[in-house]
């Protein structure tokens, strides 16, 4: 079990990873908080308008994951694990909100509308691969990091 935890928190000493953590963590933490503060336009109401089932439940579930995972990413604590729900959230967001734009308005309009989604998806994938990097709790707690 201990070796599994070490595998999850293993990270390098790269300082540039902090920039990606800040980008991903701040955006998700902020968006999650906004889903709680403004559920009619950012949470359940938004989910209902795009046809997702159980929008009230989903709104609070997604908001909770965004806040928790955003915080963990910012802290660089269990960064790889925290990035997994964020990847799922972004894949669902792209497929539920940007596919219609692609089919109705074309490729370039979809690319424009999804620029933040792509940034968050790719940033989260980066963190899944690399871990927390320098100045992270992962780095502090990991043994034998490079």
For residue 100, is it within any domain?
yes
Checking if the pLDDT of 145 tops 50, the result is: no
In a domain, 146, yes or no: no
| 4 pLDDT tier (thresholds 50, 70, 90) | confident
41, part of any domain = yes
C-alpha separations of 60 from 42, 45, 53, 63 in Å: 11, 11, 13, 5
* 72 within a domain of the structure (yes/no): yes
Residue among 57, 77, 69 at smallest CA distance from 133 = 77
- pTM for this entry: 0.90
Alpha-carbon distance 25 to 5, whole Å?
22
pLDDT in tens, 11-49: 888 889 999 999 999 999 999 999 999 999 999 999 999
CA 1 to CA 42: how far, in whole Å? 39
Domain of 91, in residue numbers: 2-141
At 140, list the tokens. 């502090």
Torsion of CA 20, 32, 53, 39, to 10 degrees: -150
User: What pLDDT is recorded for position 144?
Assistant: 53
Burial class (CB in 10 A: 0-12, 13-18, 19+), 60: middle
Structural domain total, the chain = 1
Nearest partner of 24 among 80, 106, 96, 103, judged by Cα = 80
pLDDT score of 143 more than 70: no
Using one digit for the tens of pLDDT, what is the confidence trace for 78-108? 999 999 999 999 999 999 999 999 999 999 9
């Amino acid at each position: 079990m201990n070796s599994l935890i070490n595998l999850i928190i293993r990270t390098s000493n790269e300082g540039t990873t902090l920039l990606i953590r800040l980008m991903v963590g701040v955006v998700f933490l902020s968006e999650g908080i906004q889903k709680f503060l403004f559920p009619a336009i950012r949470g359940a109401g938004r989910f209902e308008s795009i046809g997702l089932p159980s929008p009230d439940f989903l709104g609070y579930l997604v908001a909770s994951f965004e806040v928790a995972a955003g915080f963990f990413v910012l802290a660089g604590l269990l960064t790889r694990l925290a990035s997994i729900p964020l990847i799922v959230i972004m894949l669902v967001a792209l497929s539920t909100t940007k596919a219609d734009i692609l089919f109705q308005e074309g490729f370039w309009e979809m690319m424009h509308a999804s620029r933040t989604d792509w940034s968050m998806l790719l940033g989260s994938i980066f963190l899944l691969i690399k871990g927390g990097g320098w100045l992270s709790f992962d780095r502090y707690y990991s043994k034998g990091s490079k």
